[in-house]
Structure 1
């Protein structure tokens, strides 16, 4: 029970226990892990080299990269790539859960009362933890300013960016918020025009692209990052009036054994996560003792 933000809380608490992390060799595959952001930086360089009209001019020509995001990891990667000298213009695409959009537009880094379920479910986030990294980058790597901002946010769940910092953020990125209706319309249009089946998260980026091209605001090459396969989201495909195309590899999963542990509100999720990790470690050690199993 709960949402992605609430799921992050026990994960963050467990990772704060350094001895526990070292004992079990823990890592995270989401963008809490710096390695994830490091890998995504390469996506921005690859996109630039694919889309730049020429690499023989000075200065190098700009390319706009539209990044669909929830927690802000791929946006942080793009901001770092900018700092490294890559001439990219970053546009952040979010769904109705628009805290990053409000932050970019008005400096309003505050949590809404509720997380709104959308077709782009992986972006249904109100606490985009990578904004801390982005604030640090655009503040000129100012640790004290960043710490003070994040401590205020954690206390109040609300923060209005100082004007200077907000101006620096606007220099780095622009943003748009995309509705479910726009997502399904974009999925349908992309299929009709290109026979390419977008996932709903990718569609938030392509929706921004369509808005720009339809209004004649297409002055630089543009690349939309696509974070997932449409096969993972058959409900969104049906909502767009399209037919899901499920790969045989995905269909094969339907016959596999599934396991889950329900986590109810009011339970100690931190302890449940710790116990699960302890159990996995014990089983792994058991297999290490008897590799014939």
Structure 2
């Protein structure tokens, strides 16, 4: 198995980059792309859209393009519910609100499926300044902003959340024809106004909120002052919702990452980074990556690498699988 890792150069922290570029293994191929998260998704989509190529080289994705990732996350919602529900002896069961930091929309899709399965949860999708999902929930406006904004919650700096397609399909009653038409329109114009009935179902299923960088550092600071718990900026997006929109029902905020990877955000909040020795050690390790420059055909570059790697497997008498991770 060979692993191809694409990282958005300049759109993740130094520690995040080091966690990828210091993996010096023959079967790990790290590419530092001079583009944002949406831009590095494009060559991946192109490779998977070439069905013959994907089958020939056994391509598999490890981000939430892969349904298996979402399927596993469904279990998190049941676990969170049983941790937070005040009682399981009442009828109907009490409702728990789960607040989800949202970028590509994979995690909140898992929540929507758990809700469809009968779990009594209310869902809140909270985004950073890249607020396409918030605008879609509030106004039915599924359209790109002028550009992707770099924020403290860098893993959520996404303007084309591909899992929205899955959520809309789920809420449309599995109307594949409608969703295909909407997504083809979005692919061409980068702007779709949801049909009124579909927007109503979406707004009934999800609450939403947008958190600025100032909101993020404010939530990090408050959580530390009140709980001595150091939030990462992505977790702080959810905490901002908790602090700004109090409610009487039980609530769980999902925390997707460690603050150790986001020292600049911690410092900006006026707090002291807590850096494990394993993270500190990364700065002294050898790094290796291949640059993907603007102007290059990134999909073609990846095709060449995948073909070359596969040829090595063949020469060794094996057939390999290629895993992509963005």
TM-score (norm 1): 0.94
Task: Measure how far apart 1:283 and its partner are.
Answer: 4.5
Q: Which residue of 2 aligns with 1:279?
A: 308
Unpaired runs of 5+ in structure 1? none
Shift of 1:21: 2.0
Q: What is the SS of the residue equivalent to 2:122?
A: strand
Instruction: Name the one with the larger strand percent.
Output: 2
- Structure 1 counterpart of 2:258, from 210, 229, 233: 229
What pairs up with 1:38-117 in 2 under 5 angstroms? 38-117=71-150
Number of the residue aligned with 1:135: 168
1:219 partner SS: coil
What is the CA distance between 1:92 and its match in structure 2? 0.5
Superposition deviation, residue 242 in structure 1: 1.1
Q: Could you say which structure has the greater relative contact order, defined with CA pairs below 8 angstroms and 6 or more residues apart?
A: 2
Deviation of the 1:93 alpha carbon: 0.5
Out of 247, 268, 274, which is 1:239 matched to? 268
| Residue 52 of structure 2 corresponds to residue 19 of structure 1 | yes
Superposition TM-score, scaled by structure 2 size: 0.84
Q: Pick from 159, 163, 172: which aligns with 2:205?
A: 172
* Distance in 2 between residues matched to 1:94 and 1:44, nearest whole Å: 19
Q: Confirm or deny that 1:200 pairs with 2:233.
A: yes
The CA deviation at 1:279 is 3.4
Classify the secondary structure of the residue corresponding to 2:221: helix
Deviations 1:129-164 (A, max 9, x none): 000000001111111111111111111100000100
1:32 maps onto 2:65 in alignment:
yes
Match of 1:262 in 2: 291
Distance 1:63 1:203 in 2: 19
Total equivalences in the alignment: 285
Residue 124 of structure 2 aligns to a residue whose secondary structure is strand
SS at match of 1:262: strand
Distance in structure 2 (CA, Å) of the matches to 1:120 and 1:286: 44
Alignment of structure 1 residues 114-193 onto 2, 5 Å:
114-193=147-226
* 1:105 CA displacement: 0.3
Query: Hey, what's the Cα distance between the residues in 2 that align with 1:5 and 1:284?
Result: 31
**Larger helix proportion of the pair:** 1
Q: Secondary structure at the match of 2:60?
A: coil
CA distance in 1, matches of 2:59, 2:272: 40
Q: Give me the whole-angstrom Cα distance separating, in 1, the residues matched to 2:203 and 2:177.
A: 21
Distance 1:25 1:256 in 2: 32
